[in-house]
Amino acid sequence: MTGIAKGPEELALMEAAKRVLPAGGFGNFPADIIIRSGKGGHVQDVSGNDYIDYLLGSGPMFIGHDHPAVTEAVLRQIPLGTTFFANNEPGIRLAEAIVEAVPCAEQVRFLTSGTEADFYAMRLARAYRGRPKIVKFEGGYHGMSDWALMSLAPRRLANFPEAVPDSPGIPDAVRSEVLVAPFNDIEAAVRLIEAHQDEIGGVIMEPLQRLIPPKPGFLQAVRDVTARLGIPLIFDEVVTGFRFAYGGAQELYGVTPDICTMGKIVGGGFALSAIGGKAEIMALFDKAVGEERFLTQVGTLSGNPVAAVAGLATLGVLREPGTYDKVFAMGRSLMDGLAMLIAEAGIPAQCLGEPVLFDVVYAAGDLRDYRAVLRQDTAMQKHVNTVLRARGILKGDSKFYLSTAHTAEDVAQTLDAFRSAMQTLPAGRKVA
């Protein structure tokens, strides 16, 4: 196994981080790597090691690091001003582009993070309907707010629709306002929504839940029951927006919600997120609706022009003919290669997700929901990820993010590293 050498500068920075940061890091990726630079589909650490980057900053760098269109747009904007706490042309132009692209978005409100967008989307739905409860799906991730951190990764499996807090510090009262349903179970989801229809302010879901694709008819069934009962449906497209298609997962899967949240790609690598939705619902952000219905929302950096020009430049690249065909083809070639190596190794594992966002899950059978994915062999997952890191492949614990900058050579190197991981599996892990 090839090792990644750490130089004295990086080691010194790691020690400094331990002194000034809890656990020595930012709370995101493991703290044993310090990135200095990125270019295209690669990043380099402080010690000069090069990695193929499937982390992509947790997704926003969909067109690669330091893309000339984005860099040039940002450098043109910075001398003109970086934030104004007021309307600016780049922000307005970006809102126009989002409305043109995203099926459910008739109007847009900007924020700074995906957590903010999901938090305000849930509040918007509750305010619009005048009901207190939110329905979410077990295992679904919607940021770091109290409402979102219910049954994301519960330590104990409760009976539906009971919510299980994922963090200390969340008031017990919040728990009673969240109802939890199993993903990909049409009958259970419809039954829960119908049974609690008079209490529900909104339903929030990831169209692709982490890595789990929706079963045929599932998204449409949730759309149908919420539309029939007048309950706002929120698609959390912070990850999938502008990644699965130019119009997001709602375009790819052909199901249109009432509200969606966006982040990551839409800010071009800068701090920006957005809520898009029907004008009738978005009107609650306008004081013209009256004091009793007006929903206050402000943010110091919301819609700042630097992030807006980066987002506009990114969307411009994504509109170029063939962009999505190319990145999906690259992702499929990686998924197919991994599937072949899994079959050769004779292990219970499968690729789960879409070609631009997937991972290998070390379990057999139908992985239809959070509880099914819990069957996976986490020790095998950790082993493979460790080997990949040592071979210069940077990815999260449970995701490959593909970018338009990744190449056939990157895929070949990744498959070679994965082959090494299969050849060095711990004793007893192979089944054939």
* Cβ atoms 255, 223 nearer than 8 A: yes
Domains and CATH numbers, the chain: 68-318 (3.40.640.10), 322-396 (3.90.1150.10)
SS3 52: strand
- Pairing outcome for strands 233-237 and 200-205: parallel
- The residue annotated as part of the active site, out of 54, 118, 128, 264, is 264
CB neighbourhood size of 183 (10 A): 25
Digit-by-digit pLDDT tens for the chain (432 residues) are 456 899 999 999 999 999 999 999 999 988 899 999 999 999 999 999 999 999 999 999 999 999 999 999 999 999 999 999 999 999 999 999 999 999 999 999 999 999 999 999 999 999 999 999 999 999 999 999 999 999 999 988 999 999 999 999 999 999 999 999 999 999 999 999 999 999 999 999 999 999 999 999 999 999 999 999 999 999 999 999 999 999 999 999 999 999 999 999 999 999 999 999 999 999 999 999 999 999 999 999 999 999 999 999 999 999 999 999 999 999 999 999 999 999 999 999 999 999 999 999 999 999 999 999 999 999 999 999 999 999 999 999 999 999 999 999 999 999 999 999 999 987 655 543
Q: How far is CA 222 from CA 257, 323, 357, 397, 413, in A?
A: 10, 31, 23, 30, 41
* Cβ atoms 350, 339 nearer than 8 A: yes
C-alpha to C-alpha distance for 165 and 120, rounded to whole angstroms? 20
The DSSP call for residue 6 is -
Of the candidates 190, 142, 181, which has an alpha carbon nearest to the alpha carbon of residue 371?
Answer: 181
* Cβ atoms 428, 89 nearer than 8 A: no
Tokens 């269109």: give the residue.
69
C-alpha to C-alpha distance for 195 and 205, rounded to whole angstroms? 18
SS3 184: coil
- The residue annotated as part of the active site, out of 141, 246, 324, 370, is 141
Q: How far is CA 254 from CA 34, 212, 289, 421, in A?
A: 40, 17, 32, 38
C-alpha to C-alpha distance for 100 and 119, rounded to whole angstroms? 24
Report the pLDDT value the prediction gives residue 428, as an integer from 0 to 100: 55
- The residue annotated as part of the active site, out of 236, 258, 359, 369, is 236
Q: Which two tokens stand for residue 197?
A: 């229809």
C-alpha to C-alpha distance for 335 and 338, rounded to whole angstroms? 5
User: Residue 132, exposed/middle/buried by CB under 10 A (0-12, 13-18, 19+)?
Assistant: exposed
Report CA torsion sign: 161, 163, 164, 166.
Answer: positive
Q: Is 66 a catalytic residue?
A: no
* Cβ atoms 58, 396 nearer than 8 A: yes
Report CA torsion sign: 360, 362, 365, 367.
Answer: negative
Q: Which two tokens stand for residue 332?
A: 């499929």
Peptide bond into 161 cis (omega under 30): yes
Q: How far is CA 84 from CA 70, 109, 140, 266, 298, in A?
A: 20, 16, 35, 20, 13
Q: Is 51 a catalytic residue?
A: no
C-alpha to C-alpha distance for 271 and 113, rounded to whole angstroms? 6
C-alpha to C-alpha distance for 376 and 342, rounded to whole angstroms? 14
DSSP tally for the chain: helices H, then strands E: 14, 14
Query: The pTM is what?
Result: 0.95
* Cβ atoms 236, 259 nearer than 8 A: no
Q: Is 185 a catalytic residue?
A: no
Q: End-to-end alpha-carbon separation of the chain, Å?
A: 23
